[in-house]
Amino acid sequence: MENNQESSTAVDPSVEKLNKIKKELLSWIYIIVTVFAFKSSFFEPNHIPSGSLLPTNAIGDFILVNKMSYGFKLPYSDLFGDPIYLSTPSDPKRGDIIVFRYPRDRNILYVKRVIGIPGDEVEVYNNKVYLNGELIETKPVAKEEYIDLFDDKFDKKGIEFEEVQLGEKKFVTAVNNSMPYHLNIPKVKVDKGHFFVMGDNRDYSSDSRVWGFVPFGNVRGRAMVVWFNMVYPWSKEKFHFRPWRIGTLL
């Protein structure tokens, strides 16, 4: 009698295996949801494929983006439109490097530096930037320190470097004064809730001078630090690995 009871309560091995698989799948689902929620609201890695921010960001830089810099977002809320903020959002500051959805195609991520905030008047002429009627002062810096970050597709002979102080940020821009034409823009006033952005590589950057302002809803976060640098062997760019870029603050 007891043997019959034991056999009737024994667990079918196939059912036990199925339950184990279900538990494993649930565990992986929880892990994936948690990781992507963290990426959505806290920190996110991004890759720099172009040279528009040289010499600040080198081609092949992998950067860490602080998604909380301008407010705490509801996880996953920015997947299909503007994010929902659970805290009072704050605007990016002049000089911040931001990652944002390209205004003409939200599926593409861009990385640029904020030059003008809402209400600012910005004018760019011959690589000189005027902010609210005042020239942003620059001073030349040694070429040798930065030129190795530029590959052969750039006119290395004509490139010069200038140190810029914008707000609390001090950074270096690249300008090619040998070019007959520079990308200019007449004085414009930055709309409410929008930002005027530029690349540090002034003559090799498509930015607000071309396609206009960046809406705040497109901003994903602020670039913090370079955590790796490599151009893949199968990339259109020449392969390189620059471990000394690791830890570069932005």
State the Cα–Cα distance between residues 106 and 91, nearest whole angstrom.
20
Mean pLDDT of 207-230: 96
Residue 1 pLDDT: 46
Active site residue 169: no
Contact (CB, 8 A) for 44 and 69: no
Q: Read off the pLDDT of residues 180-201 as tens digits, 9 standing for 90 and up.
A: 889 999 999 999 999 999 999 9
- Check 52, 69, 205, 208 and give the catalytic one: 52
Average pLDDT of the residues of the chain = 89
Lowest pLDDT segment from 49-63, 88-102, 147-161 = 147-161
Contact (CB, 8 A) for 210 and 183: yes
**Residue 197: both structure tokens together:** 């952005």
State the Cα–Cα distance between residues 227 and 196, nearest whole angstrom.
27
- Check 40, 73, 112, 205 and give the catalytic one: 112
State the Cα–Cα distance between residues 211 and 189, nearest whole angstrom.
14
Active site residue 128: no
Quick one: which of 208, 187, 209, 127 has its CA closest to 160?
Answer: 127
Question: Would you place residue 216 in the very low, low, confident or very high pLDDT band (cuts 50, 70, 90)?
Answer: very high
Residue 37 pLDDT: 63
pTM of the model: 0.87
Q: Read off the pLDDT of residues 67-119 as tens digits, 9 standing for 90 and up.
A: 999 999 998 888 888 999 999 999 999 999 999 999 999 999 999 999 999 99
**Residue 10: both structure tokens together:** 């024994």
State the Cα–Cα distance between residues 131 and 88, nearest whole angstrom.
27
Q: Read off the pLDDT of residues 5-14 as tens digits, 9 standing for 90 and up.
A: 444 456 677 7
